[in-house]
Copies of this chain bind each other. A is one copy, B any other.
Amino acid sequence: MSEQSVMDEATYLQQYDPKQFDSPLVTVDAALFTYHDGVLKVLLVERASHPELGKWGLPGGFIDVHRVADLTQAINGVIEDKTGITAPYLEQLASYGNNQRDKRGWSVTVSYTALMAYQACEVRIATVADAQWVDVEQLPEMTLAFDHMTIIEAGRERLKQKALYSIVPAYALAEEFTFPELQHLHELLIGKPLQKRSFRRRIEQANLLEDTGKFRKDAGRPAILYRLAADAEQYRFVRNLED
């Protein structure tokens, strides 16, 4: 004790053995959402190894301290591995840590919420046999690995809040999208219909979208195609939509 207190830092670091104390396992996990065919989907992966082998869970994994320099690299690696692209929206969600969630022992996961366009990774997902988009409405019938259901719920709750005061959900759409599409996605997240007048007004006044000059034609009047303006991700409305 008194010997340690006179030791200089260089000596201390040289003698330091990170394995002298038991340390939690550390993973990163991504709740990656997209919007397609009118429904919100989350990417799930079938576990190929113990524990919870065969169950579906979030893309994620241990931090390989020799291959990644920080948490962001770790989570981006996981997402790119499964989808082939970097998620255009990525935000740290929360960390979950206790001695129960993983049978191997005390473990901590740093979880992230991410959004990407369905089209951007459609081909890749189709070729990766163990990864699949799942309609969030089907989740209640599933048993996911670890506490991944809790993480997905937290991610959805966070996205709901974002839908109330930002345009962040737009990152789950294709690069070019229509107002009705965006509104429907927000309605899904918030869980109730929105006034289209209010929805348009606030987004237009904040200049969050650029008109592409193109239209999407379906049944009815064609809808103007927009893309996100630069810095739209940062914008926060002063007034929230009704919850």
A105 contacts across to B, CB distance below 8 A: 18, 65
A71 contacts across to B, CB distance below 8 A: 95-98, 108
> From DSSP, what is the main secondary structure of chain A's interface residues?
loop
Instruction: List the number of copies, as a whole number.
Output: 2
A22 contacts across to B, CB distance below 8 A: 18, 65-66
Nearest chain B residue, comparing its CB with the CB of A165: B240
Q: Does A24 contact B (CB under 8 A)?
A: yes
Q: Does A13 contact B (CB under 8 A)?
A: yes
**B-contacting 9-mer, from A46-54, A177-185, A190-198, A199-207:** A46-54
A110 contacts across to B, CB distance below 8 A: 95, 97, 108, 110
A24 contacts across to B, CB distance below 8 A: 23, 26, 63, 65
Q: Does A230 contact B (CB under 8 A)?
A: no
Shortest A168–chain B CB gap in Å is 15
Residues of chain A touching chain B, judged by Cβ–Cβ distance below 8 Å, are 4-5, 7, 9, 12-13, 16, 18-19, 21-26, 48-53, 62-66, 69-71, 74, 92, 94-100, 103-106, 108, 110, 236, 238-240, 242-243
5 cross-chain pairs, A with B, having the tightest CB-CB distances, nearest first: A70-B98, A12-B50, A65-B106, A71-B97, A95-B95
| Additional pairs, 9, CB under 8 Å, beyond known A9-B53, A21-B62, A71-B95 | A5-B48, A22-B65, A23-B25, A23-B65, A24-B63, A69-B99, A71-B96, A71-B108, A236-B240
